[in-house]
Amino acid sequence: MKVLIVDDEELIRNVIKEYLLLDNFLVDEASNGLEAIKMAKNNDYDIIIMDIMMPKMDGYTACREIKKLKDIPFLMLSARGEEYDKLIGFDLGIDDYVTKPFSPKELVARIKAILRRKKVNPSVYQVAGIKLDDLAHEVYIDNKKTELTPKEYDLLKYFLENINIALSRENLLSNIWGYDYYGDDRTIDTHIKTLRKHLGKYKYMLVTVRGRGYKFENKK
How confident is the model at residue 173, as a pLDDT?
84
Residues of the chain whose pLDDT is less than 70?
A: 81-84, 119-122, 179-185, 220
How confident is the model at residue 194, as a pLDDT?
95
3-state SS record for 88-118: HHHHHCCCEEEECCCCHHHHHHHHHHHHHHH
What would you measure as the largest C-alpha separation in the chain, in angstroms?
57
Which domains are delineated in the chain? 2-119 (3.40.50.2300), 124-216 (1.10.10.10)
How confident is the model at residue 174, as a pLDDT?
80
Q: Which strands sit side by side in the sheet containing 96-99, from one edge to the other?
A: 26-30, 2-6, 47-51, 74-78, 96-99
How confident is the model at residue 118, as a pLDDT?
74
Instruction: Tell me the C-alpha distance between 187 and 172, whole Å.
Output: 10
CA dihedral 210, 215, 216, 220 (to 10 degrees): -80
